[in-house]
Amino acid sequence: MKIVAAEKILRANDQLAEENREKFNASGVTCVNVVGSPGAGKTTLLEGLLAAIGDRVRPAVIEGDIAGSYDAERIEALGVPVVQINTSGACHLDANMIAAAIEGVECGDVDMLFIENVGNLVCTAGYDLGEHVRIVVLSTSEGDDKAAKYPAIFRGSDALFITKMDLKPHVNFDTERIAADMKRLAPGAPVFQLAAVRGEGIPEAAEWLLGKRQAKK
């Protein structure tokens, strides 16, 4: 596991994000930025997706956390290459951190790079990392009002993955309400319903994701 301390943000984020994307494009790497609240179930979702697509693409993961490497250890246990970024308190990843993380990584060996962002439904919205696809993850236990209350992150996302559908019978969560808000904020973005601990919804989400692959040069 590679650990990068992201302390100095030196370059304008958007320019660097574009450079990251060009690097991914040149190597045929599809980059997926996964955002959501703390505890939305991003790592468990990734575990499910990696198992579902692992025989068809070569994945890698960048884990973004304030501190520690708990999530990276979970991914490493699956045998998937992983880079941990510790943001030293910063509330989101940025393009410069990603550039540092992929430096020296042989992108030719990777087809799909997942970035699990810091758990934050606000700050991650403003930072393009150079990804091709951004997925916003919302768990049923967080409530169906989150798109209305935190619109920016939903507006900029290519899909909404509703996680913890297995908890839905125990919480107040109106799938129609959140789907309607998402349609208003991001028309055309699909909404997937998942219970990743049971594998439910994973095959459909994985297929959609595979359809987003960039051509391998």
Q: Does 67 bind a second copy (CB under 8 A)?
A: yes
d(CA 192, CA 166): 14
Report the site for a second copy in 96-135 (rule: CB under 8 A): 118-123
Q: Does 84 bind a second copy (CB under 8 A)?
A: no
Let me know the angle formed at the C-alpha of 56 by 55 and 57, rounded to the nearest 5 degrees. Answer: 105
Q: Least CB distance from residue 71 to a second copy, whole Å?
A: 8
Q: Does 77 bind a second copy (CB under 8 A)?
A: no
Q: Least CB distance from residue 152 to a second copy, whole Å?
A: 7
Q: Which of the ranges 1-9, 24-32, 147-155, 176-184 carries the binding residues for a second copy, by CB under 8 A? A: 147-155
Residue 36 exposed, middle or buried by CB count within 10 Å (0-12, 13-18, 19+): buried
64-to-71, 139, 169 alpha-carbon distances in Å = 9, 19, 31
Q: Least CB distance from residue 88 to a second copy, whole Å?
A: 11
Q: Least CB distance from residue 164 to a second copy, whole Å?
A: 7
Q: Does residue 121 sit in helix, strand or coil? A: coil
Q: What single DSSP character describes residue 41?
A: S
Q: Site for a second copy (CB under 8 A): which residue of 66, 78, 100, 210?
A: 66
Task: Answer for the pair 4, 101: CB distance below 8 angstroms, yes or no.
Answer: yes
Q: Which residues bind a second copy (CB under 8 A)?
A: 37-39, 65-68, 70, 89, 91, 118-123, 139, 141-143, 145-146, 148-152, 164, 166-167, 170-171
